[in-house]
Amino acid sequence: QGCTQKYIVKNYFYYYLFKFSAALGEEIFYITFLPFTYWNIDHSVSRRMIIVWSIVMYIGQVSKDILKWPRPLSPPVVKLEMRTNAEYGMPSTHAMAATAISFSFFIATMNQYKYPFELGLAAAFVFSTLVCLSRLYTGMHTVLDVIGGALISAVLLVLLYPAWDTIDHLLLTSPFCPLFSIVVPLVLCYNYPKLDYYSPTRGDTTTILGAAAGATVGFWLNNQYSASAHTGTSVQPGHPLASSTMVFVLARFFTGILVVLLTRWLMKSAVLGVLGYRYQFPMGDLQARRRLEVEVPYKFVTYSCVGFTATVLVPLLHQLLGLM
Indicate which residues carry an active-site annotation: 94, 141
From CA 298, how far away is CA 20, in angstroms rounded? Answer: 29
Q: What spatial distance separates the first Cα and last Cα of the chain, rounded to whole Å?
A: 48
Phi and psi (nearest 5°) for 234? -115, 155
Q: What SS3 string covers 46-94?
A: HHHHHHHHHHHHHHHHHHHHHHCCCCCCCCCCCCCCCHHHHCCCCCCHH
Task: Specify the 3-state DSSP secondary structure of 231.
Answer: strand
Burial label for 272, CB within 10 Å (0-12, 13-18, 19+), is buried
Task: Specify the 3-state DSSP secondary structure of 234.
Answer: strand
DSSP state of 140: S
Give whole-number Cα distances, 199 to 84, 202, 316, in Å: 8, 7, 38
From CA 236, how far away is CA 213, in angstroms rounded? Answer: 22
Closest CA to 181 of 43, 311, 7: 311
CB 131 within 8 A of CB 140: no
CB 83 within 8 A of CB 22: no
Amino acid at 225: Y
CA-based radius of gyration for the chain: 20
From CA 47, how far away is CA 223, in angstroms rounded? Answer: 12
